[in-house]
Amino acid sequence: MITRLMTVFVTLVSGLFADAIHAGSLPLETIKLLPGFAITVYADHVPNARGMVLGERGIVFVGSRSRGEVYAVVDKDGDHRADGVYTIARGLDMPVGVAYKDRSLFVSSLDRIVRFDNIEARLTDPPAPVVVTDSLPKETHHGWKYLAFGPDGKLYVAVGAPCNVCELDPRHGLIARLNADGTGYEVVARGVRNSVGFDWDPKSRDLWFTDNGRDWLGDDQPPDELNHASGIGMHFGFPYCHGGTIRDPDFGATRRCSEFTPPALPLGPHVAALGMRFYTGKMFPREYAGQILIAEHGSWNRSKKIGYRITLVSQDHDGRLRYSVFAEGWLQGEEAWGRPVDVLVMPDGALLVSDDAAGVIYRIAYREPK
C-alpha cells in the first residue's frame, strides 16, 4: 500500500531546486550573536527544511512539511560544510518528524510512521519504507508530527489538536510513545495543543517540550509554553487553560487553571516555539551546558511580528529559569528572510539550525574571543 502512495527515489541535489535560496544570497551579517559565536551555512538547497536528526555516521537527516520530502545531508570531508544533499523520499504527507535508531530512519507521515532500514549505507539506493504504525489521526490541522527516541528507547510522537481551540477526543492534543516495532502505544501527556519539539534533560531524563498557544486572544496572549513532564499522565491545560493562568473564553468556564500542570516557563506570545534541545556539547562556554535552545519560527497572526530567532532557557543553581535571546536577525522590521524550525547539537558541539523559509541549515559555532 505504502509503495503505491509514495515514490521513493534519490537525487543528489546540485542546484536543482529553483525555490531553494543559494547560501551566497543570504544576509548572514544581520544575525546577531554574542562575542565568540559565528554563523555559517552548513547546507543549502534543502527545501522547506524542518525536523533534524543525526545518524550513526554523521549524516543529518531532515524532514519537510510542504515538500513531502526527506533529505540526507552529508559532510564527507569534515569541513563543516555539506558536500551533498540527497533526497531519499518523496510523496510523504508532511514528514516533519525524523528519528534514528539502530541504523534505521523513522519518519512521520500524517497518520503513519514509516521506517527506512540501513539507510546510511543506502543513500543512493534507499530501501522501501516499512510501516511501523498507520493508526495515528489523519486530520491535517496540526497534523504534522514531531518524532524523537527517548532515553527509555521508545519512540515519542506528538499529536496536535485538529483546530485552533476545541474540545479534544482522546486521540488528539497529546504526546505518546510506542515501541520501535509500533506496539505498546501509550499516552505520556495530555492537554498539549501542538508540540513540534521535545527533548530530555540529560541529568534527570525528564521530558521537556514546547507547545504553541492558541490564536485570536490578542497580540500579547496567550504565551507559547516550555513544559516539563516529570511523570506520565500529566495534563497541561489545553483547551481549558493557557499559559497556566488564562482561562479560555469558550472552554474554560467549567475548569480551573489550578487543575492542570502550568508551564515551566511562559515563552513569547505567538513566537511559534518549535524545535528544542538541551545543549550537551562541549564547544560552547561552560554556562551553556545542560541549558535549552529553542527555535522560534515566528508569529503569523500578530500586528507586530516577533520570534524568528533562537532563544536560550537557562537555569540557575536554585532552579529558576531565565529566557533570553541567543541568535536573532532573521526578522528585519516586519520582513523575515528566514524562519528557524529545529536545532541539533552536533558531535563537535556546534549547533545546527534548520530554516524552512530559506531552505538551508545553518551552523553556529564558538571560538574563544582573543
pTM for this prediction: 0.93
Going by C-alpha positions, the residue among 138, 146, 70 that lies closest to residue 104 is 70
Per-residue pLDDT at 17 = 35
Q: What is the pLDDT of residues 28-37, one digit of tens each?
A: 999 999 999 9
- DSSP per residue over 161-204, as a string? -SSSS-PPPTTSSEEEEE-TTS---EEEEES-S----EEE-TTT
What whole-number percentage of the chain has pLDDT above 70?
94
| Contact by Cβ (8 Å): 130, 119 | no
Per-residue pLDDT at 22 = 58
Per-residue pLDDT at 319 = 85
Pairing label, strands 207-211, 198-200: antiparallel
Structural domains in the chain, CATH included, are 2-366 (2.120.10.30)
- How many angstroms separate the CA atoms of 1 and 6, rounded? 9
- How many angstroms separate the CA atoms of 46 and 359, rounded? 5
Could you say which residues of the chain have pLDDT below 50? 1-20
| Contact by Cβ (8 Å): 197, 273 | yes
- DSSP per residue over 131-159, as a string? EEE--S----TT----EEE-TTSPEEEEE
Q: What is the pLDDT of residues 5-26, one digit of tens each?
A: 333 333 333 333 334 455 678 9
Per-residue pLDDT at 10 = 33
Cell (9 digits) for 223: 504565551
- How many angstroms separate the CA atoms of 231 and 261, rounded? 11
Q: H helices within the chain, ranges in order?
A: 2-5
Contact partners, residue 19, CB within 8 Å, separation at least 6: 47, 359
Task: Please give the order of strands across the beta sheet that includes 84-89.
Answer: 11-13, 84-89, 70-74, 60-62, 52-54
Q: How far apart are the first and last CA of the chain?
A: 59
Burial string for 194-212 (b: 16+ CB within 10 Å, else e) reads: bbbbbbbbeeeeebbbbbb
Q: Which residues pair with 340 in a beta bridge?
A: 355
- How many angstroms separate the CA atoms of 296 and 311, rounded? 7
Going by C-alpha positions, the residue among 112, 163, 166 that lies closest to residue 136 is 112
- DSSP per residue over 277-305, as a string? EE---SSS-GGGTT-EEEEE---SSSSS-
- DSSP assigned state of 32: B
Burial string for 33-70 (b: 16+ CB within 10 Å, else e) reads: beeebebebbbbbbbbbbbbbbbeeebbbbbbbebbbb
